[in-house]
Amino acid sequence: MIALGDCRTVLPTLPAASVQTCLTHPPYWQAHGDDDLGGETTRAAYHTHLVDALHDVHRVLTPTGDLWLLLDSRAVLPALLADGWRWTATIRIHTDWLLHFGPRALTLPTRDDAGHDPIISFAHYQALWSTALVSRCLHASTVAGDVVLDPFCGIGTTGRVALRAGRRFVGIECDPITYAAACAYVR
């Protein structure tokens, strides 16, 4: 399922403790110039906006659930820790950072050299991430039948990988054009 809307309004409609893993790649700071996440004028405002957007993920994760977050900076860590997230790992992925939050530390390779899915040709304002990296994260923190959430699903790489791995998927995308692309790509 992919919902069209802002994750801050869609997440409260999801059942509590219904998601095993949230795996997401939100827009980077200054990724675009509007009022959406990534358009803030200061990094501090971006951090506040991002933490606010992710806050309700706490409620929908199971007690053993994980949050995987791919960002261009680790600077948001103090704000996420202040919001109650338990940080367990940081992995350098080319010029980005994969942050893991959860009740236990999980082991992943420290680098992602797989590149990006060659099928993807949709121009989107945020960088695409590799299906191999998404797959490794999913296999580290889920089993078949688990629910995977991506509150900034973009064109749906997380959903495509999750469904092909036998997981169920809930995606949220605020841009109508990107939402339409995700609906076609994730099938």
Summarised one tens digit per residue, pLDDT across range 54-71 is 989 989 999 999 999 998
The C-alpha angle 45, 127, 6, rounded to 5 degrees, equals: 50
Q: Diameter of the chain by CA atoms?
A: 41
**Does the pLDDT of residue 117 top 60, yes or no?**
no
The SS3 assignment for 57 reads helix
The secondary structure of 122-137 as a DSSP string is ---SS----HHHHHHH
Q: Give the CATH number, domain containing residue 132.
A: 3.40.50.150
Describe the chain by its helix, strand, coil percentages, rounded to 5.
30, 25, 45
Query: In DSSP terms, which residues pair with 4 in a beta bridge?
Result: 173
Confidence of residue 168 (pLDDT cuts 50, 70, 90): very high
Domain extent for 93:
2-186
Domain count, the chain: 1
- What pLDDT, in 10s, does the model give residues 146-162? 999 999 998 889 999 99
Model pLDDT, residue 132: 86
Of the ranges 127-131, 135-139, 178-182, which one carries the lowest mean pLDDT score? Answer: 127-131
Enter the pTM of the model: 0.86
